[in-house]
Amino acid sequence: MNNYEQKKMTTRALKILAGDHFFRELFISSKIFQDFLRPAANRYIVGENHFELFEKLKKLECIGYNTGIEFAGEEASSISEINTVVNEYINLIDNIEEGAYIKPQLGFDLSNLGSGISKELAILNCEKICEKAIKKDISIIISMERSKWTDIILDIFFILRKKFSNLGITLQAQLNRTSDDLADVIKTGCKIRLVKGVYDESENISLPRGEILDKRYLTLLRNIADNNNIFSYATQDPKLVEMIREEGIHKKGEHEMLHGVKPELIKSSRELLTIKPRISCVYGYNWYLHFMHRLAEHPENIYQAFIDIHLNNKNSELYNHQY
């Protein structure tokens, strides 16, 4: 087995582990398990409460970044979990300074707002958040989830976009359907965040990582930029970022990355002095899935995780200097 195949298998195994119910339950119920992983997760999770979150946002904004916020957690299945998420976002918006010069962008998964229970519930909850946010001129970006949810996520987006000019959507280049979806999304004039896609999808509906996917990503991005939509290229891939820069697309849209992943790459985007890049900051106590996905998308991060655990890093402040 060559290196590429080994990496692919490790990524696959980590994604299965990330989705495994036993470990997700164990994480929620065991403080020992949480404490063990926390020093490694602190690289990616900016804090577990609003105080830690806003401290971090301020620091990043001061050195020249736009910011994004996402409350950690995915695929909430009970009404009480869903209500917790909705209330969290409502409180978050309340806590964002009214007259702040830089406003963070909020992002979330619709499955956390109830799309797994019913479309109507997710619409109602998303509407509550958008209404509150638009009054403070805060933009919202909906994440894209597993392909079984794509239709419902787009349906909800199209319905709500008619009412909310602050609403944008994420699209996944890996899905074969995305170029068709993009044509409809572009017409709404919304902000589009283009990602490769984090979920393990079957070959008949998606492309695996590789040159063909990178080419498709660039074609989609060119299309978005040519249509004058506001957009972000949310990728942590230095080669792809290089290609985007070579074509000059970076002068039209923002580079967006997750906190803790390759800080030197987003720093290089900031130093180009074109469009201010955005660091998406995940916070909250339910960070197991977010953390596992970061390991899965780049299995070499496991070594770093062990080092972080060994050094027992206490919080994400340690990484400020890298930005």
- C-alpha atoms less than 13 angstroms from C-alpha of 91 in its C-beta half-sphere: 11
> Cα–Cα distance between 172 and 196 in angstroms, integer?
5
67 binds ligand FAD, rule: CB under 6 A: no
Q: What is the CA radius of gyration of the chain?
A: 19
Q: Which is nearer to ligand FAD, 25 or 229 (CB)?
A: 229
> Cα–Cα distance between 139 and 66 in angstroms, integer?
12
**Span near ligand FAD by CB under 6 A; candidates 27-35, 111-119, 123-131, 296-304:** 296-304
- From residue 155, how far is each of 77, 151, 199, 246 by CA, in Å? 20, 6, 20, 35
308 binds ligand FAD, rule: CB under 6 A: no
> Cα–Cα distance between 17 and 107 in angstroms, integer?
24
Q: How far is the CB of 31 from ligand FAD (least distance, A)?
A: 26
Which residues are paired to 169 by β-bridges?
142, 192
> Cα–Cα distance between 209 and 8 in angstroms, integer?
9
- Go through 212-227 and write b for each residue having 16 or more CB atoms within 10 A of its CB, e for each that does not: ebbebbbebbebbbee
Using CB under 6 A as the binding rule, the residues of this chain from 242 to 271 that contact ligand FAD are 256-258, 261-262
Q: How far is the CB of 127 from ligand FAD (least distance, A)?
A: 20
> Cα–Cα distance between 185 and 169 in angstroms, integer?
8
Q: Which is nearer to ligand FAD, 111 or 170 (CB)?
A: 170
74 binds ligand FAD, rule: CB under 6 A: no
Nearest alpha carbon to residue 37 among 12, 50, 62, 18: 18
**Span near ligand FAD by CB under 6 A; candidates 91-99, 234-242, 243-251, 306-314:** 234-242
Q: How far is the CB of 32 from ligand FAD (least distance, A)?
A: 26
Residues 127-166, mask of contacts with ligand FAD (x by CB under 6 A) = ----------------xx----------------------
Residues whose CB falls within 8 Å of the CB of residue 72, separated by 6 or more in sequence, listed in order: 45, 282, 283, 284, 285, 286, 287, 289, 290
Q: Which is nearer to ligand FAD, 82 or 258 (CB)?
A: 258
Residues 193-232, mask of contacts with ligand FAD (x by CB under 6 A) = --xxxxx---------x-----------------------
301 binds ligand FAD, rule: CB under 6 A: yes
177 binds ligand FAD, rule: CB under 6 A: no
* Interacting residue ranges for ligand FAD, rule: CB under 6 A: 143-144, 170, 172, 195-199, 209, 234-238, 256-258, 261-262, 280, 294, 297-298, 301
